[in-house]
Amino acid sequence: MLTKPKIVIVGGVAGGASAAARARRLSEDATIILLERGPDISFANCGLPYHIGGAIKDRKRLLVQTPGAMQRRFRIDVRTHTEVLAIQREPKSLRLLNLLSNEETDETYDILILSPGAEPIRPLLPGSDLPGIFTLRSLEDMDRIIADISSRRAKRALIAGGGFIGLEMAEAFRARDLAVTLVEMAPQVMSPLDPEMVAPVHQELKHQGITLKLGLSVNGFKQTPGGLEVQLSSGETVETDLALLAIGVKPEVKLAKDAGLVLGERGGIQVNEHLQTSDPSIYAVGDAVETRDFTGGFQTLLPLAGPANRQGRLAAEHALGRAQNAYRGSQGTAICKIFDLTAASTGLNEKALKRMQKPYQKIHIHPANHAGYYPGASHMSIKLLYAPDNGLILGAQITGTEGVDKRIDVLATAMRGGMTAFDLEHLELAYAPPYGSAKDPVNYAGFVASNALRGDVTFCHAEDIIAAQENQCVLDVRTASEVAAGSIPGSIHIPLDSLRERLKELPVGKELLVYCQVGLRSYLAARILQHHGWKVRVLSGGLTTFKAATEMF
C-alpha cells in the first residue's frame, strides 16, 4: 500500500461522499479529491418527494454535506461543477472539464473510486421532450417540478411508473392538491411485493383519490392549449398539466465502459467483493455497480442508499489496506410510505423464487401491531418465504400502518444471520402493550411456519382453492355473521365451536380445504379434523389473503 496515496473519487452523494469521509478517517496523509458534476456533493435524494409534498419544509434540510463543510472538516479537495471526460488508465490520469469555465485539465490518481450513480430512464417517446415532462433524481429536478406547479398553477399530474419514486410522488402531488393518474405497465405497482401483498397498496391509492392505470404504458405526449395529452397503449388519452417519468433508472457506466472496464451481465460495472473493478486501481460503488444477491446468489443492480453508503466505506478501507472487510452482497431491504400505509420487503419474493425454480414454502399471517387491548391496535399482513427442507428464511413482505418497519428490520437481520423459521420462534423481542404483543408478529410468523415444517399443519393457498377438485371440499369455520358478510363461493359452513358435534355433515373421503378470516381458527379446526382422521389443508392467511390474492373486495 502507498504511504501517501492520492485518491480521486468521481461522484458524491451516498457512495462517493462516504468513501471520501472514510478515507480521511483512516489516513491523514492521503490526498483526497472529490469530483462532482453538479453543485452538491451530498444530498438526501430519498427526501426529494417529501420536500415537493411539503413534509420537509426547508430545502436546506436535504443538504447532508456541503462542499465547504467537507473541505473544512475533512481537508478534502472538493471540486463541484467538474465533469470527468475520460479515464486514462495508463498513465493513471483523468481528463476533467470545468463546467463553469469550460476549461479542460488533467488530474492524476493512485486510487480511483467511481460513484457515478444512475440516471432516470427517459424513453424516446413522441413528445417526451415537451415542456412539463420531468424526471426526479436531483435537487435541480425537484426545483423544476415545484416551480412548474407554482408558475402554471397545475391541477393535474400523471406519473408513469409505480415504483418507489412513483408512489412517493403520487402522495406528494396529492399533498399539493393535484389530481393524480398513475400509469404502470405491470399489473401491479411496487414490484418487490407479490400481487396479494400489494393489493392493500392498490386499495390505499384508490382511497386517496389516485386513478390507477395498470397493465398500460405511455406511448407518447402531445401539447394542448391546456397542458399535455398523454397517449396510453390502450388507445386512451389522459389530459394532464405535467407528467413525471418514474419508470426506473439505469447505471451510468459510459465513463467505465470507455475506459475498458468490464461490465456485468446486468449492464452495471463489474466489481469483486472489495468493490474493485477489472482494474485493481479502480473501485466502483453505488447505483452503477452489480453486486451479488445475498439470498439468490445472482448478480443484481440495487439503486438504494444503504448499500451505496456501505460500499463507499468498504472501497475506501480496502484502498487503504484493510483487506479483511468485504461486501457481503445486497439483500434489497426496502420500505415505502404510501399515504397512511407502509409496505416493506426483504430478500426474494415469490416471483423471483419461481423464476429461479428454487423450492420454497410460504405463509401469510395478519397480526396486530401491538396488544389488542391497548388502544389503537391495527393489523398488518406478513408474508414469509422459507426453504421447505430446513426453514431458512428466503424473503419477507409486510404491509400495514404501524410497526411494519420494526418487523421487516428484525426479519432482514434474521436473514442476514442465516436464521430459520425455527429461530424466529425463539427471538426475545421487546414487549409492552403500546409496542407489541407477548407473541410478537415475528414470533408468530415463526410459529406458523414451524408448525408447517414439523408437519402439524399443511397449508393451501388461493390458487389451490380456485382449482379445487371433485375430491376436495372447501370448509368455512367462521361465525354465521361473518359468513353473511361474504364467503368463498361453493364453500360449506360449520362454525369452529360446533365442529366436533357436526363432523357427520362433512363429505366422506374428501380432502378438506379449511378457512376462516385470517387463519387461526382454521388451524384449530384442522387439528380437530386431523385427530378424527380427515385429510386437511388450511388456507394460509384465511379469507383476508384470499381476497387480496383474487382482488375480491
Q: Are strands 269-270 and 289-292 parallel, antiparallel or unpaired?
A: parallel
- Residue 484, CB-side half-sphere exposure with 13 Å CA sphere: 3
Cα 436 from chain centroid?
24
Residues 313, 82: Cα–Cα separation, whole Å: 23
Q: Are 337 and 53 in contact (CB under 8 A)?
A: no
- Helix crossing, 305-319 with 13-26: angle to 10°? 30
Residues 445, 454: Cα–Cα separation, whole Å: 14
Name the active-site residue from 46, 336, 460, 516: 46
Burial (CB count within 10 angstroms: exposed 0-12, middle 13-18, buried 19+), residue 110: middle
Contacts of 347 (CB under 8 A, 6+ apart): 294, 295, 331, 332, 333, 385, 393, 394, 395, 396, 412, 415
Residues 91, 105: Cα–Cα separation, whole Å: 15
Q: Are 512 and 486 in contact (CB under 8 A)?
A: no
- Residues pairing with 290 in the sheet: 270, 301
260-285: b (≥16 Cβ within 10 Å) or e: ebebbeeebbbbeebbbbbbeebbbb
- Assess whether 46 carries a catalytic annotation: yes
Cα pseudo-dihedral 355, 337, 448, 393, rounded to 10: 50
Which whole-number Å values give the CA distances from 153 to 226, 227, 350, in the listed order?
11, 11, 43
Sequence letter at residue 281: S
Residues 300, 292: Cα–Cα separation, whole Å: 6
Taking only Cα atoms into account, the Rg of the chain, rounded to an integer number of angstroms, comes to: 27
Location of C-alpha cell 451479488 = 292
Active site residues: 46
